[in-house]
Chains A and B, each alone.
Chain A
Amino acid sequence: MKVGLFVPCYIDQFYPNAAIATLNLLKKLGVDVYYPLNQTCCGQPMANSGYEHLTKNCNSLFIQNFAGFDYIVSPSGSCVLHIKDHLHDDQREQDARNIRHKVYELVEFLTDVLKVENITASFPYKVGLHQSCHGQRGLHLSSMTELVDVPFSKPMQLLNQVKGLEIIELTRPDECCGFGGTFCVAEEAVSAKMGKDRVEDHLMNGAEFITAADMSCLMHMEGILKRKNSQVKVLHIAEILNAE
């Protein structure tokens, strides 16, 4: 099984540790994983801003980099959802279709494909899990409070395997953090307020760390935490699953 590691652009530039943890975790689990060096971005920032028509070059570049793999795995639910929903290429539509079916967010790859049941990680802290919307409502990584459904959570399934880790309960378990891509500046007032409220829920309930399957939400909440001079840190779920 040949796996291509897709590292979203902002993770590559600002959060390399999340990508390193993903790579090492996959290797630790015996996955034959490659990182295609010429990858950039899934095109979501343009598409969500209404400029999907400008994403053609990003799409072809993505296909060039990832067409040869059995699976494509990425530490971002949001970018994976974008690829799943919007990757197209007039010249290589069959390849685009294959990629749309083979792309996985890291957590679901671990629970659904690798069926990981014993994570050898230890993280003796109180952790708040932020349910990133695109991973949760888009990729169905967890059940959603709005739906009448059997409760489940793939991220929780993995975090529960981590030694010493204590999950804190949130008052609003799956409210959006307000990042929303360009929304964070285009609708600055509401975005910042949403971020503040989300962070407050974690702080109020005693989190020492906030984690998620999406670094962009964590980047947003980190910005708020730092402005508050809070000692609480954010960590991508891969970093916790890889912690020893």
Chain B
Amino acid sequence: MSSSIKHPALSDIFNKDEARVNWHDDTLWWIRAKRDKVAHGISEWEILRETASQIKNNVLSNLHDYLMVFEANAQTNGIKVHWAANAEEHNKIVLSLLQSKGINQMVKSKSMLTEECHLNEYLERNGVDVIDSDLGERIVQLAKEPPSHIVLPCIHKKKGEIGQIFHEHLGTEAGVSDPQILTETARIHLRETFLTRRSALTGVNFAIAETGEFVVCTNEGNADMGAHLAEIHIASMGIEKLIPKKKHLSVFLRLLTRSATGQPITTYSSHFKKPRKGQEMHVILVDNGRSVQLGREDFRNSLKCIRCGACMNTCPVYRRSGGHSYHYAIAGPIGAILAPNLNMKEYSDLPFASTLCGSCTNVCPVKIDIHDQLYKWRQVIVKGGYTSTAKTVAMKVMEFTLSSSTRFKLAGKIGRWTLKNAPFTVNNQLNLWFKNREMPEAPKESFSEWYKKNNK
């Protein structure tokens, strides 16, 4: 998924089809509106957000201790716990667990962490067939695309396009796009998968240190189907997914889906505490840059994220550029503050893919100061030398002009004169503003010129 084409160019491509942009924007706005409605139905909503944020503060400040407690309790329950410093280690652990059982087929429910680690590609290269059991993920998997949204992986696809994918891969009739028929087809296809796979991998929404159990939230019950029928259940989790006690869970469950889709709660919030008889249960605790982010004072808050996707649904840029324009496993505002931690050069464009409007920060159920972090990442990226020389030169010229009132006034005069007398020098294709917008009209005098004449 790594790409040298950056967000502005990818969004430019996305915007070639304006009707599609309108459709994408409206679809996600509808979800944002649902979120608003359900949030406004809870008078203590802001207290809930604050509580969740504080609980996560506590977790991040005591992460080491909670991880040790979780590991000990999980082991007592009979869960095998593994530690992975990075994506590569995580993928190797999964593969070795499968190989130890002679398994070459796996069913996997939603896990953004495995997207981050590129697990599917790795397993396929090593002869393991993976089927994603979340319907949206299955659709993008068949289309050989990454998810474009962390909660709604195929939100960029229209019904008709999904019908075409089903026709090609699952044998539905050509031209069928009735969601009822497509869903039924997927059910039958996945039912077969659930019954025959000996291994299942799930993500983890919350891991409870106190009890050593973990909680997986889905709407389709696909995580449960996979995990209950398989002889080995592997759960992959980022080390930040912990919460201290079981009593804290309700705070997060109340926030998660209300923020994500405007539902009161996920259809299934399943607790996994110990393997059933004859089954193996494994948890892989993955760092992959998280401890580095934890050490970045300005950005550690980003680890509070519970992956609800509310910041994407509300982001006016995301809605009009699509998830793939972020060229990272996690798109949108939250992706833009997580990605540079992993590779500042590759993702140097993402913190700039925002107007800093602040809507993301307002919808975030754990109160991550997303737009402030975007601003701060911009400073880090520029200081790190990951911006173009042209931009730096332009900024230095701007600084030179604006730091002296004489120079500023002269530049203003020249600018206004040019707009008036030589508009062709600015009203052309070299001026990106002019592509879709007229330039402001130059007034006959600036305010300061007027003021000097009219006051005193």
In the complex where A7-B447, A13-B446, A194-B316 touch, is A37 in contact with B440 (Cβ < 8 A)? no
Q: Does B437 contact A (CB under 8 A)?
A: yes
Q: Does A204 contact B (CB under 8 A)?
A: no
- Report B's interface with A, CB cutoff 8 A: 7-8, 11-12, 14-15, 18, 21, 25, 29, 36, 39-40, 42-43, 45-46, 314, 316-317, 320-321, 351-359, 361-363, 375, 378-379, 381-383, 387, 391-392, 395-396, 398-399, 402-405, 408, 412, 415-416, 432-433, 435-443, 445-448, 450-452, 455
B399–A223 contact, CB under 8 A? no
Q: Does A49 contact B (CB under 8 A)?
A: yes
B21–A48 contact, CB under 8 A? no
In the complex where A20-B450, A175-B316, A186-B8 touch, is A58 in contact with B402 (Cβ < 8 A)? yes
Q: Does A38 contact B (CB under 8 A)?
A: yes
A156-181 to B contact mask, C-beta < 8 Å, 1/0? 00000000000000001011101111
Residue of chain B at shortest CB distance from A136: B358
Q: Which residues of A lie under 8 Å from residue B25 when comparing CB positions?
A: 197
Q: Does A29 contact B (CB under 8 A)?
A: no
Q: Does A69 contact B (CB under 8 A)?
A: no
In the complex where A50-B381, A176-B316 touch, is A185 in contact with B395 (Cβ < 8 A)? no
A57–B399 contact, CB under 8 A? yes
Q: Does A68 contact B (CB under 8 A)?
A: no
Q: Which residues of A lie under 8 Å from residue B12 when comparing CB positions?
A: 188-189
Q: How far is the CB of B416 from chain A (nearest CB, A)?
A: 6
Q: Which of B379, B383, B437, B448 gathers the greatest number of chain A CB atoms within 10 Å?
A: B437
Q: Which residues of A lie under 8 Å from residue B18 when comparing CB positions?
A: 193
A184 to B354, CA, bound (A): 10
A37–B452 contact, CB under 8 A? yes
A148–B412 contact, CB under 8 A? no
B433–A185 contact, CB under 8 A? yes
Q: How far is the CB of B197 from chain A (nearest CB, A)?
A: 41
Residue of chain A at shortest CB distance from B455: A35
A41 to B7, CA, bound (A): 29
A227–B448 contact, CB under 8 A? no
Taking A57-B399, A175-B359 as known contacts, 17 extra A-B pairs with beta carbons closer than 8 A to each other, sorted by chain A number, are A9-B412, A12-B447, A12-B448, A14-B442, A46-B398, A49-B352, A50-B382, A54-B396, A54-B399, A61-B404, A133-B359, A137-B358, A137-B362, A187-B7, A190-B317, A191-B355, A227-B436
14 A-B residue contacts at CB 8 Å?
A: A14-B440, A20-B450, A37-B451, A50-B379, A51-B399, A57-B399, A58-B399, A137-B359, A146-B314, A176-B359, A183-B352, A186-B8, A189-B11, A219-B440
A193 to B435, CA, bound (A): 11
Q: How far is the CB of A188 from chain B (nearest CB, A)?
A: 4
Residue of chain B at shortest CB distance from A218: B440
In the complex where A50-B382, A147-B362, A180-B355 touch, is A16 in contact with B446 (Cβ < 8 A)? yes
Q: Does A222 contact B (CB under 8 A)?
A: yes
In the complex where A13-B446, A41-B402, A50-B381 touch, is A172 in contact with B29 (Cβ < 8 A)? yes
A188–B352 contact, CB under 8 A? no
Q: Does A43 contact B (CB under 8 A)?
A: yes
A146 to B351, CA, bound (A): 22
B405–A40 contact, CB under 8 A? yes
B455–A176 contact, CB under 8 A? no
B395–A54 contact, CB under 8 A? yes
Q: Which residues of A lie under 8 Å from residue B396 when comparing CB positions?
A: 54
Q: Which residues of B lie under 8 Å from residue A43 when comparing CB positions?
A: 402
Q: Which residues of B lie under 8 Å from residue A145 when comparing CB positions?
A: 36
Give the residue of A19, A52, A144 whose beta carbon is less than 8 angstroms from that of B362. Answer: A144
A57 to B395, CA, bound (A): 13
A23 to B455, CA, bound (A): 11
Q: Which 3 A-B pairs have the closest CB atoms?
A: A223-B437, A180-B355, A57-B403
Q: Which residues of B lie under 8 Å from residue A9 when comparing CB positions?
A: 402, 408, 412
Q: Which residues of B lie under 8 Å from residue A226 when comparing CB positions?
A: 437-438
Residue of chain A at shortest CB distance from B440: A14
Interface Cβ pair total, 8 Å cutoff: 205
A176 to B1, CA, bound (A): 29
B46–A148 contact, CB under 8 A? yes
- Report A's interface with B, CB cutoff 8 A: 7, 9, 11-17, 19-20, 23, 35, 37-41, 43, 45-55, 57-58, 61, 133-134, 137-138, 144-149, 172, 174-176, 178-181, 183-197, 219-220, 222-224, 226-227
B402–A12 contact, CB under 8 A? no
Residue of chain A at shortest CB distance from B361: A137
In the complex where A146-B363, A149-B46, A172-B29 touch, is A195 in contact with B437 (Cβ < 8 A)? yes
Q: How far is the CB of B75 from chain A (nearest CB, A)?
A: 41
A164 to B320, CA, bound (A): 37
Q: Which residues of B lie under 8 Å from residue A147 when comparing CB positions?
A: 46, 362
A40–B399 contact, CB under 8 A? no
Q: Which residues of B lie under 8 Å from residue A227 when comparing CB positions?
A: 436-438
B352–A187 contact, CB under 8 A? yes
Q: How far is the CB of A23 from chain B (nearest CB, A)?
A: 8
A38 to B382, CA, bound (A): 29
Q: How far is the CB of A158 from chain B (nearest CB, A)?
A: 22
Give the residue of A15, A138, A144, A178 whose beta carbon is less than 8 angstroms from that of B316. Answer: A178
Q: How far is the CB of A216 from chain B (nearest CB, A)?
A: 10
Residue of chain B at shortest CB distance from A40: B408
A138–B437 contact, CB under 8 A? no
Q: Which residues of A lie under 8 Å from residue B451 when comparing CB positions?
A: 23, 35, 37
Q: Which residues of A lie under 8 Å from residue B448 when comparing CB positions?
A: 7, 12, 35, 37
A153 to B104, CA, bound (A): 61
Q: Which residues of A lie under 8 Å from residue B408 when comparing CB positions?
A: 9, 40-41
Q: How far is the CB of A204 from chain B (nearest CB, A)?
A: 13
Residue of chain B at shortest CB distance from A54: B399
A16–B450 contact, CB under 8 A? yes
A188 to B437, CA, bound (A): 10
B447–A40 contact, CB under 8 A? no
Give the residue of B8, B357, B362, B447 whose beta carbon is less than 8 angstroms from that of A187. Answer: B8
Give the residue of B40, B316, B392 whose beta carbon is less than 8 angstroms from that of A148. Answer: B40
A224 to B434, CA, bound (A): 10
A190–B398 contact, CB under 8 A? no
B416–A13 contact, CB under 8 A? yes
In the complex where A49-B395, A144-B362 touch, is A192 in contact with B403 (Cβ < 8 A)? no
A31 to B278, CA, bound (A): 82
